Amino acid sequence: MRRKIVAGNWKMNLNFQEAEELIEDLLELLAEEEELKTEVVVCPPYPYLELTTDFSEEKLFHVGAQNLSAFDAGAYTGEISASMLASMDVTHCIIGHSERRKYFNEDDQMLTAKVNQALAHDITPIFCVGELLPEREAGEHFKTVRWQVRHGLFHLDTAEFSKVVIAYEPVWAIGTGVTASPAQAAEMHAYIRTLIDERYGPEMAEKTSILYGGSCNAKNATELFAQPGIDGGLIGGASLLAEEFVSICKQAQTA
């Protein structure tokens, strides 16, 4: 059975007090869900990581970062290394999000370095892939995702790859209120699994968790998660609302 995972990507939102309130609300709601098996990951902005890892001692969720440095350590002003994150009990990190690819020019080479840094420090990469709208309209979505998966991850050996979580996030669905249809998402998840099968074999293809992201919310989560091959979600906007986020976590388990 593949792990069901729901990760909340807060992006660059909330002040310190608001972050504290959201964490407290999440803890209260998650504490009521004793049967919840979904792996819940909360990815706040860097300055709130320590606050979040302190609270996560109650083991109701894991803590992820939204980014990490491609470099190991040293004179890289403004950067945050994987070893720093690991030393703060950060267990996951989003890598290759389309906003980082677009606004910070993160290319394949940089992303492989980031994936390597994460794995070297036992941090689970949540590696994002997804096509732009013109690429889908031109029928090139499989080609784009194939390129991203191959160039971002397929340098890894089997043991390393087994620690990776993939998130399929069509860029046109992120923050737009337009989700991929369940069929579109399922089709791409199945395609990613065939790529994994070709490179690492059927067992790995079967056990890799692939999340869907892009305007996933409490209203559409069950339908998306019910698709074969969709193992949970990477949630942006809806992760800022405690009740909505916990509802999505519950839907991942029951779907």
Q: Which active-site residues does the annotation give?
A: 97, 169
Q: Of 97 and 121, which has the nearer Cβ to ligand PGA?
A: 97
Q: Three-state DSSP class for 172?
A: helix
Q: Is 170 in the site for ligand PGA (CB under 6 A)?
A: no
Could you count the other beta carbons within 10 Å of the beta carbon of residue 26?
24
The correct pick among 64, 229, 232, 237 for binding ligand PGA (CB under 6 A) is 237
Give the shortest CB-220-to-ligand PGA separation in angstroms.
11
Q: Of 1 and 12, which has the nearer Cβ to ligand PGA?
A: 12
- Pairing outcome for strands 5-9 and 165-168: unpaired
Applying CB under 6 A, what is the total number of residues that bind ligand PGA?
A: 13
Give the shortest CB-241-to-ligand PGA separation in angstroms.
11
Instruction: Give yes or no for a contact between 227 and 185, defined as CB atoms under 8 angstroms apart.
Output: yes
Q: Identify the H or E element spanning 221.
A: helix 221-225
Structure-token pair, residue 34: 């004793």
Nearest of 3, 30, 189 to residue 92 by alpha carbon: 3
Query: Which residues does residue 63 pair with via DSSP β-bridges, in sequence order?
Result: 42
The correct pick among 196, 236, 245, 248 for binding ligand PGA (CB under 6 A) is 236
Site track 209-228 with ligand PGA (rule: CB under 6 A), x = hit: ----xxxx------------
Dihedral sign (CA 114, 144, 12, 208) = negative
Instruction: Give yes or no for a contact between 133 and 127, defined as CB atoms under 8 angstroms apart.
Output: no
Site track 28-57 with ligand PGA (rule: CB under 6 A), x = hit: ------------------------------
Give the shortest CB-222-to-ligand PGA separation in angstroms.
16
Q: Which amino acid is at 81?
A: S
Q: Of 131 and 200, which has the nearer Cβ to ligand PGA?
A: 131
Taking CA 189 as the corner, what is the angle to CA 239 and CA 64, rounded to the nearest 5 degrees? 35
Site for ligand PGA in 4-23 (CB under 6 A): 9
In the complex, which residues of this chain contact ligand PGA (CB under 6 A)?
Answer: 9, 169, 174-175, 213-216, 234-238
